[in-house]
A and B are shown apart, each in its own frame.
Chain A
Amino acid sequence: MLKGIAGAAGLAATPALIAACSSSGGGGAKKGSTGSGDITFGSNYSDPSTKGAFATLTQQATSATSVKINVNTVDHNTFQNNITSYLQGTPDSLCTWFAGYRMQYFAAQGLLAQIDDVWDKIGSNFNDATKSLSKGLDGHYYFVPIYNYPWVVFYNKSTFSSKGYSVPTTWDQFTALAQQMKKDGLIPIAFADKDLWPALGTFDILNLRINGYDFHMQLMQNKAQYTDPKVTEVFKHWAEILPYCQSGANGRIWQDAAKALENKQAGMMFQGSNQVAANYSAANLADLDFFPYPAINPDFGQDYMDAPADGFIMPNKGKNGGSAKKVLEYIGTGPAEVAYLKTDKWDVGLAQNIDTSGYNAIQKKSAQAIAACKNVAQFGDRDTDPAMAAALEALIQKFIDDPSDSNISSIQKSAADQAKTIFG
């Protein structure tokens, strides 16, 4: 390989430097280090609340396994941006990551340690759906989940009861409700997309409702085309409700949209419970409730939703893998999830035998809503190639600015063209 570079590029000066780090075999089924001793844990739980929950988890893990854990916290966005360099550089023994293609992509390139032996011990704690989302494309395990959370429509109970609104279950009821809210001087749907990813949730749910889970996953994995008329339907439905969404979404952070809901200026908001509920003050949390996104296509009803699972991976280049696996074995248990969820009141555990007595109303309902689904997707940016997700995110901002038919078709065409260069 090195010869190839030197020959083709004529770069006499140490070509190894550019091509360095050829540790990957592409196969993936590589074992991480097995050393024991203290471990470091890379964390993107940077918000004060989740930081606290994570601290509880690591403390419990230390007392259960007597492995000392040093936490290295990096803010959520930076952590995500740096993941490729992070995994190839000097990663921690363990780190936080997401289930889905986002994990499989790195596992397939040999950057993650295979942890089948961990799953031998914890496997009985989880159902098949959880098992399959913890596996790489090669069928081996690379991930241990800690919680998941649903993407649903949030509202304030007091608003609905005082105005006599009822929860919509169909598209017509939903649009009629939005219309009524507008008449009543509310922003029907609080909406923000400055961070680029939040609106992807709306794309996902509309696609899941209109075209079903299988088509959605095909689209995410480039087995279906963005120019498909089915995708046009998604954007057309979206254009229908866009007038009821908070304007200026591209310049607003989702936290401010959640504030509009909390202050009762807005009637509803479609977002992850992990975000909306976490952003609510304790005093208002009792008023918060949600319903699953209304059905559009009767073939699929309300069968699917985005319910992303967060958890942990073991980078191949991390140190003291033996200790790290012990910690993972602890994390993959009901008590560990309970320890984490002691302070995190907006996510729900995945272990089958988890003690749910500490759950609040939102958590109880979340667990039911997820369990009621025939299948859950992870999230637009976790189910597809990151470059494609970024391309789609940018196009969706363009759509929010101009939801006209002509713009929709040019967006679809651009998405298809970019998919060709990204996957091709």
Chain B
Amino acid sequence: MTAVAAARTSERDATGRAGGRRRGRGLSSALAQLFMIAACVLWILPIGFALYVALRPYSETSKYGYVAMPHHITLSNFQQAWTQSNMLRFFENSVLITVPAVIITLVLASFVAFVVSRFSFRFNIALLIMFTAGNLLPQQVIITPLYRLYLQVHLPHFLSESGLLYNSLTGLVVINVSFQLGFCVFVLSNFMKTLPAEIYEAALVDGASVWSRYWRLTLPLCRPALAALATLLTTWIYNDFFWAITLIQTGNKRPITAALANLQGQFVANQNLIAAAALMAAIPTLVVYVLLQKQFIAGLSLGSTKG
């Protein structure tokens, strides 16, 4: 449902928001504006303040406090945080974890969603429930046995320097994929159910195989949902903190979000550096957000209006 509706929405946007949507008028509109402006100021304030701290030298903030007119504005904190903390390495780790994890999750989830939404067999609903519920479990509930499991699985050297799933980037990819599968299966299967059945009938007449029905027909139609999920998954996996601090033991194998805690320990006396490092760590997700913002809301079908 939502997919179709989303398509409709974009049509509507193109024709200048015709139909039921009117710009608010008069008092209520002014109030709404006021409310939104106030909210936005509050929303931007903490980030802006951290940025302000990051832009000022430590000597100055320790003398005058964080809240003071700036005497100097400098990028040296960013530079220092970058060089002192080996941040490039952590970013690299984050990329090596996030990119494969997002791709593998989407591929596997679309497999399941395709089978479940296009073929009927006895365990359909049970499967959907298993995947969806798996994503809703608290991470802490599975960590101990998972950790033991990770110590048992041996990997060839090119996948893991440690030779184990534990303490390897591969291990983090695996758990992120497993954990995020559920949500993606849920969204994608809802999305696929809304695809018109006619196209499949035509394909069947042509004798298309299961694989080509998946690869040639379904996936291209799912592009908006895949884009939305890719955005969400990127932020979730990139921002993951728990798996990284529990399953990676070597300091310089950590992704940036977990490494931040490390940096916090390292720069503890110099909060300005911490602010600079933290803000730099946020840049990749912000870039992804800006790039994919439009697809994001349009494609986020939760299969919702169909109940």
Direct contact of A and B (CB under 8 A): yes
Report A's interface with B, CB cutoff 8 A. Answer: 16-21, 46-48, 72-78, 82, 85-86, 88-90, 253, 255, 259, 279
Beta-carbon contact of A279 and B167 below 8 Å = no
Asked whether any CB of chain A lies closer than 8 Å to the CB of B152, the reply is yes
Beta-carbon contact of A90 and B167 below 8 Å = yes
Beta-carbon contact of B151 and A88 below 8 Å = yes
Knowing A48-B84, A89-B249, A255-B268, say if A78 contacts B262 (CB, 8 Å). yes
Asked whether any CB of chain A lies closer than 8 Å to the CB of B145, the reply is yes
Asked whether any CB of chain A lies closer than 8 Å to the CB of B164, the reply is yes
Beta-carbon contact of B262 and A20 below 8 Å = no
Asked whether any CB of chain A lies closer than 8 Å to the CB of B252, the reply is yes
Identity of the chain B residue whose Cβ is nearest the Cβ of A83 in the assembled complex: B249
Most buried by A among B149, B166, B266, B268: B268
Beta-carbon contact of B251 and A75 below 8 Å = yes
Name the A residues within 8 Å of B245 (CB-CB): 78, 82
User: Complex formed: what's the CA distance from A78 to B166 in Å?
Assistant: 16
Beta-carbon contact of B266 and A47 below 8 Å = yes
A-contact bits for B162-205, CB 8 A (1 contact / 0 none): 11101100000000000000000000000000000000000000
Beta-carbon contact of A77 and B265 below 8 Å = yes
User: Complex formed: what's the CA distance from A75 to B268 in Å?
Assistant: 11
Other-chain residue from A18, A46, A77, A89 in contact with B167 (beta carbon distance below 8 A)? A89
Q: Is the interface of B mostly helix, strand, loop or mixed?
A: helix
User: Complex formed: what's the CA distance from A78 to B147 in Å?
Assistant: 16
16 A–B contacts, CB within 8 A, in A order: A20-B148, A21-B148, A46-B266, A47-B266, A48-B266, A74-B262, A75-B264, A76-B265, A77-B261, A85-B246, A89-B151, A90-B164, A90-B166, A90-B249, A253-B268, A259-B62
Name the B residues within 8 Å of A75 (CB-CB): 251, 261-266
Kindly provide the distance from the CB of A72 to the nearest chain B CB, expressed in whole angstroms: 5
Kindly provide the distance from the CB of A323 to the nearest chain B CB, expressed in whole angstroms: 19
Most buried by A among B62, B164, B251, B252: B251
User: Complex formed: what's the CA distance from A270 to B98 in Å?
Assistant: 45
Knowing A74-B251, A85-B249, A90-B164, say if A17 contacts B149 (CB, 8 Å). yes
Beta-carbon contact of A89 and B145 below 8 Å = no
Name the B residues within 8 Å of A253 (CB-CB): 268
Beta-carbon contact of B145 and A78 below 8 Å = no
Beta-carbon contact of B151 and A46 below 8 Å = no
Name the A residues within 8 Å of B250 (CB-CB): 72, 74
Beta-carbon contact of A46 and B249 below 8 Å = no
Other-chain residue from A46, A76, A279 in contact with B269 (beta carbon distance below 8 A)? A279
Other-chain residue from B148, B162, B251 in contact with A18 (beta carbon distance below 8 A)? B148
Name the A residues within 8 Å of B246 (CB-CB): 82, 85
Using a CB-CB cutoff of 8 Å, which residues 232-289 of chain B contact chain A?
245-246, 249-252, 261-266, 268-269
Using a CB-CB cutoff of 8 Å, which residues 57-98 of chain B contact chain A?
62, 84
User: Complex formed: what's the CA distance from A77 to B162 in Å?
Assistant: 22
Most buried by A among B62, B261, B269: B269
User: Complex formed: what's the CA distance from A320 to B248 in Å?
Assistant: 22
Name the B residues within 8 Å of A90 (CB-CB): 162-164, 166-167, 249
3 closest cross-chain pairs (CB), A and B = A75-B265, A74-B251, A75-B262
A-contact bits for B132-156, CB 8 A (1 contact / 0 none): 0000000000000101110110000
User: Complex formed: what's the CA distance from A73 to B147 in Å?
Assistant: 21
User: Complex formed: what's the CA distance from A259 to B162 in Å?
Assistant: 41
User: Complex formed: what's the CA distance from A350 to B249 in Å?
Assistant: 30
Kindly provide the distance from the CB of A278 to the nearest chain B CB, expressed in whole angstroms: 10
Identity of the chain A residue whose Cβ is nearest the Cβ of B149 in the assembled complex: A17
Beta-carbon contact of B249 and A17 below 8 Å = no
Identity of the chain B residue whose Cβ is nearest the Cβ of A279 in the assembled complex: B269
Kindly provide the distance from the CB of B45 to the nearest chain A CB, expressed in whole angstroms: 21
Kindly provide the distance from the CB of B72 to the nearest chain A CB, expressed in whole angstroms: 19
User: Complex formed: what's the CA distance from A46 to B252 in Å?
Assistant: 12
Knowing A48-B84, A74-B249, say if A89 contacts B265 (CB, 8 Å). no
Beta-carbon contact of A85 and B265 below 8 Å = no
Identity of the chain B residue whose Cβ is nearest the Cβ of A263 in the assembled complex: B62
User: Complex formed: what's the CA distance from A46 to B84 in Å?
Assistant: 12
- Contacts A75-B264, A255-B269 aside, 15 further interface pairs with beta carbons under 8 A come to A17-B145, A20-B152, A46-B266, A47-B265, A47-B268, A48-B266, A72-B250, A73-B252, A74-B251, A78-B245, A85-B246, A85-B249, A88-B151, A253-B268, A255-B268
User: Complex formed: what's the CA distance from A19 to B148 in Å?
Assistant: 8
User: Complex formed: what's the CA distance from A47 to B166 in Å?
Assistant: 26
Name the A residues within 8 Å of B263 (CB-CB): 75
Name the B residues within 8 Å of A21 (CB-CB): 148, 151-152
Name the B residues within 8 Å of A74 (CB-CB): 249-251, 262
Kindly provide the distance from the CB of B75 to the nearest chain A CB, expressed in whole angstroms: 20
Name the A residues within 8 Å of B251 (CB-CB): 46, 72-75, 78
User: Complex formed: what's the CA distance from A75 to B261 in Å?
Assistant: 8
User: Complex formed: what's the CA distance from A74 to B264 in Å?
Assistant: 12
User: Complex formed: what's the CA distance from A17 to B151 in Å?
Assistant: 9
Name the B residues within 8 Å of A86 (CB-CB): 249
User: Complex formed: what's the CA distance from A85 to B249 in Å?
Assistant: 9
User: Complex formed: what's the CA distance from A46 to B162 in Å?
Assistant: 22
User: Complex formed: what's the CA distance from A17 to B262 in Å?
Assistant: 30
User: Complex formed: what's the CA distance from A20 to B150 in Å?
Assistant: 10
Identity of the chain B residue whose Cβ is nearest the Cβ of A278 in the assembled complex: B269
Name the A residues within 8 Å of B152 (CB-CB): 16-17, 20-21
User: Complex formed: what's the CA distance from A65 to B268 in Å?
Assistant: 35
User: Complex formed: what's the CA distance from A189 to B251 in Å?
Assistant: 36
User: Complex formed: what's the CA distance from A287 to B263 in Å?
Assistant: 30
Name the B residues within 8 Å of A85 (CB-CB): 147, 246, 249
Identity of the chain B residue whose Cβ is nearest the Cβ of A77 in the assembled complex: B265
Identity of the chain A residue whose Cβ is nearest the Cβ of B146 in the assembled complex: A17
Name the B residues within 8 Å of A279 (CB-CB): 269
Name the B residues within 8 Å of A88 (CB-CB): 151
Kindly provide the distance from the CB of A43 to the nearest chain B CB, expressed in whole angstroms: 9
User: Complex formed: what's the CA distance from A78 to B263 in Å?
Assistant: 11
Identity of the chain A residue whose Cβ is nearest the Cβ of B253 in the assembled complex: A72
Kindly provide the distance from the CB of A315 to the nearest chain B CB, expressed in whole angstroms: 12
